[in-house]
A and B are shown apart, each in its own frame.
Chain A
Amino acid sequence: MSEEVWEVFRQERRGQPMEHAGSVVAPDADFAETWAREQYGRRGESVALWLVPRDAIRDVEDWADEFDLKYRRVDGYSIKARLKEARERASAGTG
């Protein structure tokens, strides 16, 4: 039987987000549930678990920045070099 990686998400209390907890390796969903219950729910530390085959996850990690929108954020402004230059010019002018 071929084994598969299942990602385990757990919820600590009702209303809270499901958080990634770890993963289990299992031949099918029932085994995955058994391992996950044992490893992430044994002490009543979770009120719910989500089991997701790793291969079923659509991973989105590349964030294209064609429209550079950094002007809307603090990190869009790098003033250090210009400020230095401005200060040097000003002190040269008054010197």
Chain B
Amino acid sequence: MAAAEVPHDEQAFLEYVQAGGQVEATDWIPDEYRAKLVKFIEMHANSELMGVLPEREWILRAPTLQRKLALTAKVQDEVGHAQLIYRVVEDLGKPREQCLADLVSGKSKFHNVFHYPTKTWGDIGVIAWLVDAAAIISQKALLKCSYAPYARIMKKICWEESFHILHGRDVILALVTGTPQQFELVQEALNRWWPPLMQFHGNPIPREEDPMWQWRIKSQGNEEARQQFLEGYVPQIWELGLTVPDPKLRRRDDGVWEYTEPDWAELMHVVTGHGPKTEERLAFRQRFLDQEQWVRDVLAA
């Protein structure tokens, strides 16, 4: 059967992607679509790169050698994801150096959950299990992204994320089957992480109004993603005897989860560079960019 051609006209292109059409790096794409792709994918890459910093802090403090190796592997994977994703952005026309400069200057964003501190080993379990679970829900939906090169690298990323979730769940299980203090460590971490987790998928605007959905960069709405997270993970949290710190949280008979309205003002405040750890982590990233400049210079020579 003859291949459907990618239309060279913005309106026809929009209809093409809305009908499930995908495009390649070498195809013509509208400027507006390119700009949206760069914004979305760059934030994803930034999040992978910044997301390792909270975990990195615990590599040296991991309780066993096995945990230290697993956490190191996870950090290595996430940086690898950043490499793959920045390459897609680069191919769309924004150089990697510019992405990194915009990240450290605060011009571009990264996900809310990576602006918070990791206070205890319990945080490492909650991040690997629940933050990665929330992230994999978004990433699985990107397997159907209208921009095919991005959809394809997501296959590898999702494959690695599934090991991270299991690693996190294993950390949590070891703690909840340990001493009362260890159980309390998990509960306390969950209490702190729950609000950012509920904000993670964004405000519940109808997907029809979300430009990322209109261009079929995302294949699901924010609230759909959050509902999927609650449906998949709240029962797993409850079965361990843990409490989700939201008195309103309940599953209705029709399967929809009700919850306390997340603090959207906090989300906006945090992702615009005012999180508790934003400044410290960006300064850290800047320091390493400066420190490793000679490597890039040598390679470019």
Given the interface pairs A5-B91, A61-B3, A63-B3, the reply to whether A22 lies near B300 with Cβ below 8 Å is: no
A1 touches B300 (CB 8 A): yes
- The interface size of chain A toward B, counting residues with CB under 8 Å, comes to 22
The CA of A38 and the CA of B2, in the complex, are separated in Å by 37
Complex: A40 Cα to B159 Cα, angstroms: 12
A40 near B156 (CB under 8 angstroms)? yes
A30 at the interface (CB under 8 A from B): no
Query: At the interface, yes or no: A89 with Cβ under 8 Å from chain B?
Result: no
B-side binding surface: helix, strand, loop or mixed? helix
The interface on chain B, measured as residues whose beta carbon lies within 8 A of the other chain's beta carbons, has a size of 24
In the complex, the answer to whether B91 meets A23 with C-beta atoms within 8 Å is yes
Give every chain A residue within 8 A of B160 (Cβ-Cβ).
43
- Complex formed: what's the CA distance from A39 to B85 in Å? 11
Q: Which residues of A contact B25 (CB under 8 A)?
A: 23
In A59-84, the 8 Å CB interface with B consists of 59, 61, 63, 65, 73, 75
Q: Which residue of B lies closest to A61 (CB)?
A: B3
In the assembled complex, the Cα of A39 lies from the Cα of B149 at a distance in Å of: 15
Task: Specify the chain A residue showing the minimal Cβ separation from B301.
Answer: A1
CB contacts (< 8 Å) of A45 on chain B: these are: 156, 159
User: How many whole Å from B143's CB to the nearest CB in chain A?
Assistant: 14
Instruction: List which B70-106 residues lie within 8 A (CB) of chain A.
Output: 76-77, 80, 83-84, 87-88, 90-91
Given contacts A23-B91, A61-B3, A63-B2, contact A39 B152 (CB under 8 A): no
Task: Tell me whether A42 is interfacial, beta carbon within 8 Å.
Answer: yes
> B205 interface residue, CB < 8 Å from A?
no
For the complex, give the distance between the alpha carbons of A31 and B14 in Å: 38
Residues B152 and A42 in contact, CB atoms below 8 Å apart: no
Tell me the chain A residues, 1-40 only, with Cβ under 8 Å from chain B.
Answer: 1, 5, 20-25, 27, 31, 38-40
Chain A residue numbers with a CB within 8 Å of B26 are: 59
Distance, CA A31 to CA B156, complexed state (A): 21
Complex Cα spacing A68 to B230, Å = 52
Report how far A7 CA is from B242 CA in the complex, Å: 47
The answer to whether the Cβ of B299 comes within 8 Å of any Cβ in the partner chain is yes
A residues lining the B interface (CB < 8 Å):
1, 5, 20-25, 27, 31, 38-40, 42-43, 45, 59, 61, 63, 65, 73, 75
Given contacts A24-B87, A43-B77, A61-B5, could you give 10 more A-B pairs where the C-beta distance is less than 8 Å? Answer: A5-B91, A22-B84, A23-B25, A23-B91, A38-B80, A39-B80, A61-B3, A63-B2, A73-B1, A75-B1
- Provide a sorted-by-A list of 11 A–B residue pairs whose CB atoms are within 8 angstroms: A1-B300, A1-B301, A22-B84, A22-B152, A23-B91, A25-B87, A27-B299, A39-B80, A39-B83, A40-B156, A73-B1
